[in-house]
C-alpha cells in the first residue's frame, strides 16, 4: 500500500513526480493492489487527444459492484455501507450494511433483468436522496446497464430531453419526495415527461410519500412487490474496462445538455484512489458528502468512491434549513461524522443564519472538511475553518468537473498546507497547464490563464453520448492536444492553483452548472418575448445569480412588467427547473451583438455586475449604440 495513502508533503511530491514521469506504471500499481479484477489488462493506457480517444486498462474485465460490495462481505459484511438520514429528523436513520446492500442491489438487478434490461441498455433514474437511489445505480452496474441519473429537481421538460437523448428504456422513480416541509410529486413529473418519450417501456415506482399515483397499465409498477419476489443473488455481468458505466448530463454554453459518458475501470480506480487520499478515510470513519447523487459529486463521492473503499457513507434526504438551520450540525453530532464535504453556497447560507445554530451541536468528531462546486470566497472559507473545523480540520477545496469524473486539484489533508480560496496542487497523475489567448502554455509561477490538462487521467469522460464530434469540439479543439476545462485559473508564487471561474457562457449558480441556452430558450417561449440573454452576476449566497435581459415583442400595447417577470420565471421553472429562475429581469430595447450576430455577454455581465467603468472595446459591435441604452434603462 505504498502509494495509497499519502502522509506528508514530501511524500506527495514524490508520488506526484512518479505519477508524471511514468503514469502507466503509477496507475498500474494502484490498479493491481487495490481492486478485484476478473481479468487483468493488456495495455494500461492508449490515447490520442486529437481524435480524441482514451483507453485505460484495455483487456481488463471486472464488475464495479464486486469491488464496491462483494469483496467487502468477508471482512465488512456487518459494517454500515450506507447510513440513511431521512428528511424528517424524527424518522429513524437506516443503517444499511454491506450485506444488506448486496441483497438489495441483487434483488433490484434481478427485477431489471426480468423487465428485459440488458447490458448496454440505458436506464433513467429520477429519484430523491433515498437508499433506492444508490441501490439503483449499483443494480444497473451489476448487470451492465448504463445508468443516467437525472437530478430530481429538474422539470419534466428537462427530464424528457435527457431520457430521449439517451433513449432510455426504463425510468426508476418514486411516488414523490420530501424536501424540508414540502412534498414533490415526482411521479406526476415523470408522467408529463413520458408523454414525449416513446422509448420508455417500463416505469418502476418506489413508495416514499404514500401518495396516490397514476398507474399506466403495462408501463408502471410499484417496485416493492417485485423486489419481494426477486432472488437476492445476481451474478455480476463481466464488463470490459472501457464498457460504459453511466451517462450524466451537464450544461453546455450552447445547445442541449451534454451526456457525459464515463466508463468502468478507469472511473473506479480514480474515484477510489482520490476518495482514500483526499478524505484520508480510516476504517471506522463516518463520511458525509451533502451533495445529491443527481450530480457527479454524488456519483463519485457518495456512491462509487466511498463504497470501493468499504467506507460508511451518509445519504441525507433533506435540506440544510429543515427543521431549522442547525440540521447539518445535528447530523454531524448524531452520526459522529468524521469527514464532511459540502458546497460553498451551503456554507454561505448557513453562515448567514448565525452561530447559534452551530454552537448547539457537538462537532468534535470532524477531522476533515471539504468544499466543491464553485470557487469559495475568503469569508466563507474562514467561517468554515473557524466555526466548523475549529481551525484543526483541514479544508480540502476540491476542483473538478462532471467531465473529469473525479477530484483533480486539491490539498491532501495534513500534507498540503491549505490556503484560503486555493484548490492548491494537482492530484497525482494530473498534469494541469495554463494557456494564454494565443494558445501557448504559460510556464512559471505567478501567472494566470485558461486551465487545461495535458495528459489523460483514468476517470475522464470518454465522449458525449451520441455526439463525439461535439466532445472533440468542446474540450479538445480550443488548445491543441489538451483538454480544455472552460475555467480560468491562476498559479501563485509556490505553484498553488486558484480557480477564478468559468471563461465560457456556463454560469455556476449555487454550485449548479447552468448553461445559458436552455434558459434562454425557455424565456423565448413566452409569447411576449422577442429575444433574451442571460448572464451571471455576483450574489452573496449563491455565488452567482442569473440576470436576464429581455426584449419584448413590439405589439404597441403596454405590459405589466411585474407580471411578465413572474410568467417568465414560471416558464423557466417548468422547462428547466426552479434552480434556473432569474433573480433580476431587465426589459431592454436591444442586445449588444458582434458582427457575426453573437450576443456579447461580456458587456452584459459587466452591466449586470454594476461594473460599467471599463466595458472594453465596444466599437467592433454591430450595434454599439444599444450599450448606453441598456445602462440608462431603469429597472422597472
Helices (H), 515-559: 516-524
513 part of the interface to ligand WT7, by CB under 6 A: yes
CB-based contact 2:15 (threshold 8 Å): no
Among 462, 502, 542, 601, binds ligand WT7 (CB under 6 A): 502
- Determine, following the binding rule CB under 6 A, whether residue 586 of this chain makes contact with ligand WT7: no
Contact stretch for ligand WT7 (CB under 6 A) within 331-339, 425-433, 483-491, 613-621: 483-491
Closest distance between ligand WT7 and the C-beta of residue 297, in Å? Answer: 4
Rounded CA separation 559/550 (Å): 13
Which range of residues in 68-76, 272-280, 294-302, 362-370 is near ligand WT7 by CB under 6 A? Answer: 294-302
Candidates 307, 140, 310; CA nearest to 237 is: 140
Show contacts with ligand WT7 in window 438-467 (CB under 6 A).
none
Q: Which is nearer to ligand WT7, 295 or 340 (CB)?
A: 295
Binding ligand WT7 by CB under 6 A: which of 163, 239, 499, 630? 499
In the shown chain, the binding pattern of residues 229 to 258 toward ligand WT7, with x for contact by CB under 6 A and - for none, equals ---------------------x--------
Q: How far is the CB of 591 from ligand WT7 (least distance, A)?
A: 25
- Bridge partners of 82, per DSSP, are 96, 313
Site for ligand WT7 in 411-440 (CB under 6 A): 423
# chain residues binding ligand WT7, by CB under 6 A: 22
Of 165, 397, 504, 520, which lies in the binding site for ligand WT7, with binding defined by CB under 6 A? 397
> Does residue 142 belong to the site contacting ligand WT7 (CB under 6 A)?
no
State the Cα–Cα distance between residues 89 and 333, nearest whole angstrom: 13
> With 0-12 CB in 10 A as exposed, 13-18 as middle and 19+ as buried, what is 5?
middle
Q: How far apart are CA 482 and CA 503, in angstroms?
A: 16
Is 173 an interacting residue with respect to ligand WT7 (CB under 6 A)? no
Stretch 374-393 residues interacting with ligand WT7 (CB under 6 A): 374-375
399 counts as binding ligand WT7 under rule CB under 6 A? yes
Whether the Cβ atoms of residue 424 and residue 409 lie closer than 8 Å to each other: yes
CB of 311 to ligand WT7, least distance (A): 19
Residue ranges in 192-211 that form contacts with ligand WT7 under rule CB under 6 A? none
Piece in contact with ligand WT7 (CB under 6 A), picked from 62-70, 109-117, 323-331, 371-379: 371-379
Q: Is 297 in the site for ligand WT7 (CB under 6 A)?
A: yes
Minimum Å distance from CB 474 to ligand WT7? 12
Binding mask 333-352 for ligand WT7 (x = CB under 6 A): --------------------
- Specify whether the backbone of 195 is left (phi greater than 0), alpha (psi in -120 to 50) or beta: alpha
Q: In the bound complex, what is the minimum distance in angstroms from residue 611's beta carbon to ligand WT7? A: 20
Pairing of strands 497-502, 483-491: antiparallel
Q: How far is the CB of 229 from ligand WT7 (least distance, A)?
A: 38
DSSP SS3 for 397: strand
Backbone angles phi, psi at 136, to 5 degrees: -65, -45
User: What CA–CA distance (Å, rounded) separates 564 from 526?
Assistant: 9
| Percent helix / strand / coil, the chain, rounded to 5 | 30, 25, 45
Looking at 26, 41, 279, 400, which residue binds ligand WT7 (CB under 6 A)?
400
Exactly one of 401, 415, 516, 569 binds ligand WT7 (CB under 6 A); which one? 401
Per rule CB under 6 A, is residue 520 in the interface with ligand WT7?
A: no
Contact status, residue 201 vs residue 116, Cβ threshold 8 Å:
yes
Q: Which stretch binds ligand WT7 (CB under 6 A): 6-14, 33-41, 318-326, 484-492?
A: 484-492
Q: Which of 28/374 has CB closer to ligand WT7?
A: 374
CA angle 228, 234, 239 (to 5 degrees): 140
Residue choice 239, 245, 508, 534 for contact with ligand WT7 (CB under 6 A): 508
What lies within 8 Å, CB to CB, of 635 at 6+ separation is: 584, 586
Minimum Å distance from CB 431 to ligand WT7?
17
**Which DSSP symbol is given to 358?**
H
**Using rule CB under 6 A, residue 485 touches ligand WT7:** yes
Residues 612, 292: Cα–Cα separation, whole Å: 38
Report, in Å, the least distance between residue 490 CB and ligand WT7: 12
Answer yes or no: are the C-beta atoms of 455 and 431 closer than 8 Å. yes
CB of 24 to ligand WT7, least distance (A): 26
Nearer residue to ligand WT7 within complex by CB, 23 or 536: 536
Please, what is the end-to-end C-alpha distance for the chain in angstroms? 64
Task: Report in angstroms how near the CB of residue 31 gets to ligand WT7 at its nearest.
Answer: 23
CB crowding 553-573: b at 16 or more within 10 Å, else e: eeeeeeeeeeebbebbbebbe
CA–CA gap between residue 431 and residue 421 (Å, rounded) = 20
Tally the residues of the chain. 636
Q: Which positions touch ligand WT7 (CB under 6 A)?
A: 250, 295-297, 372-375, 397-402, 423, 485-487, 499, 502, 508, 513
Amino acid at each position: 500500500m505504498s502509494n495509497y495513502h499519502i502522509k506528508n508533503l514530501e511524500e506527495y511530491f514524490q508520488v506526484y513526480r512518479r505519477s508524471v514521469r511514468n503514469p502507466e506504471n503509477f496507475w498500474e500499481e494502484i490498479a493491481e493492489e487495490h481492486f478485484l479484477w476478473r481479468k487483468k489488462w493488456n495495455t494500461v493506457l492508449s490515447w490520442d487527444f486529437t481524435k480524441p480517444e482514451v483507453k485505460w486498462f484495455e483487456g481488463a474485465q471486472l464488475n464495479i459492484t464486486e469491488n464496491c460490495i462483494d469483496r467487502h462481505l468477508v471482512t465488512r459484511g456487518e459494517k454500515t455501507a450506507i447510513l440513511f438520514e431521512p428528511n424528517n429528523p424524527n424518522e429513524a436513520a437506516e443503517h444499511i450494511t454491506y450485506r444488506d446492500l448486496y441483497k438489495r442491489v441483487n434483488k433490484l438487478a434481478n427485477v431489471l433483468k426480468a423487465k428485459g434490461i440488458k447490458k448496454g441498455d440505458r436506464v433513467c433514474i429520477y429519484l430523491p436522496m433515498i437508499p433506492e437511489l444508490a441501490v439503483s445505480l449499483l443494480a444497473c452496474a451489476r448487470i451492465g446497464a448504463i445508468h443516467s441519473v437525472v437530478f430530481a429537481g429538474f422539470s419534466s421538460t428537462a427530464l424528457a430531453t435527457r431520457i430521449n437523448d439517451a433513449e432510455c428504456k426504463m425510468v426508476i422513480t418514486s411516488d414523490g419526495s420530501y424536501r424540508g416541509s414540502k412534498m414533490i410529486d415526482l411521479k406526476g413529473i415523470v408522467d408529463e415527461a413520458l408523454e414525449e418519450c416513446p422509448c420508455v417501456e417500463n416505469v418502476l415506482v418506489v413508495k416514499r410519500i404514500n401518495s396516490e399515483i397514476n398507474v399506466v397499465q403495462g408501463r408502471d409498477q410499484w417496485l416493492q412487490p417485485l423486489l419481494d419476489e426477486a432472488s437476492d443473488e445476481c451474478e455480476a455481468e463481466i464488463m470490459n474496462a472501457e464498457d460504459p458505466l453511466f451517462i450524466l448530463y451537464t450544461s453546455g454554453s450552447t445547445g442541449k445538455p451534454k451526456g457525459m459518458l464515463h466508463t468502468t475501470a478507469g472511473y473506479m480506480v480514480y474515484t477510489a484512489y482520490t476518495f482514500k487520499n483526499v478524505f484520508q478515510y480510516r476504517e471506522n470513519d463516518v463520511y458525509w458528502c451533502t451533495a445529491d447523487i443527481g450530480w457527479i459529486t454524488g456519483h463519485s463521492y457518495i456512491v462509487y468512491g466511498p463504497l470501493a473503499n468499504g467506507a460508511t457513507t451518509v445519504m441525507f434526504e433533506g435540506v440544510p434549513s429543515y427543521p431549522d438551520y442547525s440540521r447539518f450540525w445535528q447530523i454531524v453530532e448524531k452520526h459522529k461524522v468524521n469527514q464532511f464535504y459540502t458546497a460553498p453556497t451551503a456554507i454561505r447560507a448557513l453562515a448567514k443564519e448565525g452561530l447559534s445554530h452551530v454552537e448547539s451541536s457537538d462537532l468534535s468528531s470532524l477531522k476533515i472538511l471539504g468544499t466543491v462546486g464553485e470557487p469559495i470566497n475568503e469569508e466563507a472559507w474562514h467561517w468554515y475553518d473557524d466555526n466548523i473545523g475549529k481551525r484543526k480540520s483541514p479544508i480540502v477545496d476540491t476542483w473538478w468537473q462532471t467531465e473529469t469524473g473525479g477530484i483533480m486539484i486539491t490539498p491532501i489533508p495534513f500534507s498540503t498546507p491549505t490556503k484560503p480560496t486555493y484548490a492548491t496542487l494537482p492530484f497525482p497523475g494530473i498534469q494541469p497547464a495554463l494557456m494564454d489567448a494565443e494558445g501557448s502554455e504559460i510556464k512559471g509561477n505567478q501567472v494566470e490563464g485558461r486551465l487545461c490538462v495535458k495528459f489523460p487521467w483514468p476517470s475522464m469522460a470518454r465522449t458525449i453520448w451520441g455526439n463525439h464530434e461535439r466532445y472533440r469540439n468542446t474540450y479538445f479543439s480550443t488548445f491543441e492536444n489538451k483538454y480544455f476545462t472552460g475555467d480560468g485559473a491562476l498559479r501563485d508564487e509556490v505553484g498553488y492553483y486558484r480557480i477564478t471561474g468559468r471563461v465560457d457562457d456556463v454560469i455556476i449558480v449555487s454550485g449548479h452548472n447552468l448553461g445559458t441556452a436552455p434558459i434562454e430558450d425557455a424565456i423565448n417561449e413566452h409569447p411576449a418575448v422577442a429575444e433574451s440573454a442571460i448572464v451571471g452576476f455576483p450574489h452573496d449566497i449563491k455565488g452567482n445569480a442569473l440576470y436576464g435581459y429581455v426584449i419584448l415583442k413590439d405589439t404597441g400595447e403596454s405590459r405589466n412588467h411585474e407580471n411578465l417577470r413572474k410568467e417568465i420565471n414560471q416558464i423557466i421553472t417548468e422547462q428547466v427547473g426552479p434552480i434556473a429562475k432569474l433573480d433580476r429581469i431587465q426589459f431592454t430595447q436591444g442586445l449588444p451583438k458582434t458582427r457575426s450576430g453573437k450576443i456579447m455577454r461580456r458587456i452584459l455581465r459587466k452591466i449586470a455586475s454594476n461594473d460599467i467603468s471599463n466595458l472594453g472595446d465596444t466599437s467592433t459591435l454591430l450595434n454599439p449604440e444599444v450599450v448606453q441604452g441598456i445602462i440608462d434603462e431603469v429597472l422597472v
